[in-house]
Structure 1
Amino acid sequence: MRWASRTQFFASGFIFATWGVHIPTVKAHYGVTEAELGLAMLAAGFGALLGLTQASRWIGRHGARGAAGLSGTVYALLLAGLVAMPGYAALLTLLAAFGVVTSVFDVAINTEAAELELRNGQPLMSGMHGMFSLGGMAGAVTGSAALAAGLAPSSHLLVVAIVMACAIPLSAQWMLPRDATAFAAAGDGFRLPRGALVILGVLAALGLIAEGAIYDWSVLYLKQELGSPQQQAALAYASFSAAMAAARFSGDAMRARFEPAVLLRGSAFLAAASMTLVLLTDAPWQALVGLAGVGVGFANVVPILFAASARVPGVEPARGIAAVSAAAYLGFMAGPPVIGFLAEISSLTAALYLVVVFAVALAASARWAGPT
């Protein structure tokens, strides 16, 4: 069952990385500006918000296994349409649908991971999110290789869509049965976090706004701001994801050794310093090194905060994680369009300094992660 869940996280990261690699492709294909590209990402964000209002109800009805299998398959198939739409308006519609299924899939697999962690009585969440990052690295490297080999973007997207649309429902068959995960959301609509969960949700949102900005804009940053060819620029995503995966796979041991506030503060300062290096250098290879540092810094932010949400007094652990996950996911979807609009009125380099600001804010607020 753990490997079924790990496969889902890997597939989610692979699909998301494939989208990230082809953001410059989408920009060029539809002839849009940074602001229009940001609006397209915002359409995905609104779709995600709609999905979040229904995700817990659907998971309650069908279980994480059923919800992940269906939403993940649709998520994969929509990837093939990214450069096949007849125009910009159609792209907005596709990305809105993309956001709906992405959010449902994300909540479903995190609900499954939370239940597995509770059943096993040991940290598992960092490792699960490590599989997302590993999938992101694999997707970015594969995308870079496909571009270097001259494979048409539409062909690459179609191949990835077909493979992932087969892998997701197949692996979902080995996830926990419906009744095991339905309790976490059964009969509930979307619930905003309350009390201490509000603070944890805001911190998780800050972390994922910054993380989402790297996922969606780092490739374009290397290509547009540093003049890298796209196949080299695609390595920005790979560098970030590979370092994040490595840090997440060691994250459960780190969480057992250090107090959450100490680990969160050190991680956030590392992310801020590394992102500053990325934005100050003119050398692509130094930017890739810096992005790896950003990946290490942000790697365990979400696992730390999810674990803290499971310890809030008077709140069932799975419900605490679900509430903070929802707030974090909203941040993840909101970050890229915010960066796009700031880039339009200033520059992409200036806009990405928001990542530094949010990392410093996380470090300053680390005490809210609580003691071990």
Structure 2
Amino acid sequence: MSSVVGASRALRAQFFVLGVMFATWGVHVPTVKGHYGLGEQALAIAMLAGGVGALMALAQAGRVVGRWGPRAVSAVMGVACCASIACLLAGSAYTALLAVMLLFGITGSLVDVAINTEATEIERLAARPLMSGFHGMFSLGGMAGASLGSAAPALGLSPQAHLLVATGIGAVVVLVGSRAMLPVPEKAAEEKHPLSLPRGPLLLLGVLASMGLIAEGAMYDWSVLFMKQERASEASTAALAYASFSGAMAVGRFAGDWVRARLTPPRLMRASGVLGAAGMALALAVPSPAVALIGFALVGLGLSNVVPVLFSAASQVPGVSSAHGIAAVSGVGYLGMMAGPPLIGLIAEHASLSAGLWVVVVFAAFMAMTAKRALRN
């Protein structure tokens, strides 16, 4: 049992670092846009490169994690993920940014599957809900990363210096934390085939994941830029958009295991979609930076338990290993997420970013409407 406790703590650190990396990217979206001289559409294509990389990796994630185990994959890919974020501003060519985003997508998705596979094993050994708490550390990392990004100018850190500090510390934590993770055996027979388009229960779970990840990804990629462009906020205030979203998501996830023990998955998913849609609509409808921050917090609270519930369900589908189940649902989710940034960017290019972000309201509402069918069993 002591090894399980130690592995649980190490895994929480891995989720935390991954959250910091996503937040570090998120707060530097305006910096990247200015550094490379991009419009919304070109920026959206760069985000799409990250989605393409994620989808490429997820096609083999079940096999890779099954062959090498979550501990090795999270260590190697976690360091590589940190390195990709460190290189965001290292070049000046648009093709360099596309390559960096492709690497970020590949490494981030492999880490994601690895640590979620480990989480399902620890949850099984502990015989109680733990997944939401693990994902709470991701959100807490997001809040910490965004807060550091907001404070960086006052601390005298240039954007590149901030990237190096955040990713350097993250890489060290990943390497140290991975040593305490548990080995998770997978069935050899299930490691021979790459990911294919899921069917049945996994496809339905994947559709819900795509709705949630599109909404969640919009917060990562566009919320800071929205505050800066649409609400005329200072850089330090704009960074709080991500922090408010991640902070509320962390609160929802740390309470999520308690909630999951008392609400059925369909009911929880339906409430999540309604709250997410309402929060985003509030942020877009009221032209106030303070109200926008409140709206983003409601979105974070609403979406907080979508991924934990879906990944936990995917890991328990009969006849499918946990790594393959999670990778299958993640694959469909990321496929939907890939369409989100270009769609929002295209609308923003021809109308406004506010108009583009109404997509989040639509998808969150759709997620609420489809929850019962996808999770009825």
Equivalent position of 1:135 in the other structure: 141
Q: Determine whether 1:44 maps to 2:50.
A: yes
Deviation for aligned residue 1:371: 5.2
CA distance 1:182–1:124, shift in 2 (3 Å): farther
Give the structure 1 partner of residue 3 of structure 2.
none
Mapping for residues 1-372 of structure 1, pairs under 5 Å? 1-177=7-183, 180=185, 186-312=191-317, 315=320, 319-370=324-375
For normalisation by structure 2, the TM-score amounts to: 0.94
1:63-97 CA-partner distances (Å, limit 9, x unpaired): 11111100000110121111111311111111111
Pairs aligned (count): 371
Distance 2:270 2:192 in 1: 37
Residue in 1 that maps onto 2:4? none
Distance 2:335 2:120 in 1: 19
Deviations 1:100-155 (A, max 9, x none): 11111111111111121222221111111111000000000011000333421011
Alpha-carbon offset, residue 274 of structure 1 = 1.0
Between the aligned partners of 2:257 and 2:356, the Cα distance in structure 1 is 33
Secondary structure of 2:191's partner? coil
User: Quick check: 1:48–1:333 contact (8 Å CA) kept in 2?
Assistant: no
Query: What amino acid maps onto 2:76 in structure 1?
Result: L
Report the Cα distance in structure 2 between the residues aligned to 1:232 and 1:79, rounded to whole angstroms: 22
1:186, distance to aligned residue in structure 2 (A): 2.8
SS at match of 1:32: coil
> Which structure 2 segments of 5+ residues have no match?
1-6
- Given that 1:76 and 1:162 are in contact with CA atoms closer than 8 Å, whether structure 2 keeps it comes out as yes
Q: Is the CA contact 1:275–1:290 (under 8 Å) kept in the aligned structure 2?
A: yes
With 304-313 and 144-153 compared, the bigger mean Cα shift is at 304-313
Change in 2 beyond 3 A, CA 1:168/1:295: same
Q: CA deviation at 1:60?
A: 2.0
Tell me the CA shift for residue 185 of structure 1.
5.7
Equivalent-residue separation in structure 2 for 1:59 and 1:184 (angstroms)? 14
- What is the CA distance between 1:56 and its match in structure 2? 2.0
The CA distance in 2 between the partners of 1:170 and 1:182, in whole Å, is: 28
Question: How far did 1:180 drift?
Answer: 2.9
- TM-score normalised to the size of structure 1? 0.95
Q: Given residue 63 of structure 1, which amino acid in structure 2 is its aligned partner?
A: G
Q: Secondary structure at the match of 1:122?
A: coil
Using the alignment, how far apart are the partners of 1:105 and 1:182 within structure 2?
Answer: 20
For the 8 Å contact 1:200–1:309, the answer to whether it is kept is: yes
Q: Percent identity?
A: 54
Instruction: State the distance in 2 between where 1:133 and 1:185 align.
Output: 31
Write out the 4+ residue segments of structure 1 that deviate beyond 6 Å after TM superposition: none
SS in 2 for 1:148: coil
Cα offset, 1:286, TM superposition: 0.8
Asked if the contact 1:275–1:291 (Cα under 8 Å) also holds between the matched residues in 2, the reply is yes
Tell me, yes or no, if the aligned pair for 2:116 and 2:311 is still in contact at 8 Å: no
- For 1:305 and 1:282, the matched residues in 2 are separated by 34
Which region of structure 1 is more displaced relative to structure 2, 325-334 or 38-47?
A: 325-334
For the 8 Å contact 2:65–2:323, the answer to whether it is kept is: no
SS in 1 for 2:171: helix
Q: 1:17 to 1:205 in 2, by over 3 A?
A: same
Q: Distance in 1 between matches of 2:193 and 2:177?
A: 27
User: Structure 1 residues 145, 139: closer, same or farther in 2, change over 3 A?
Assistant: same
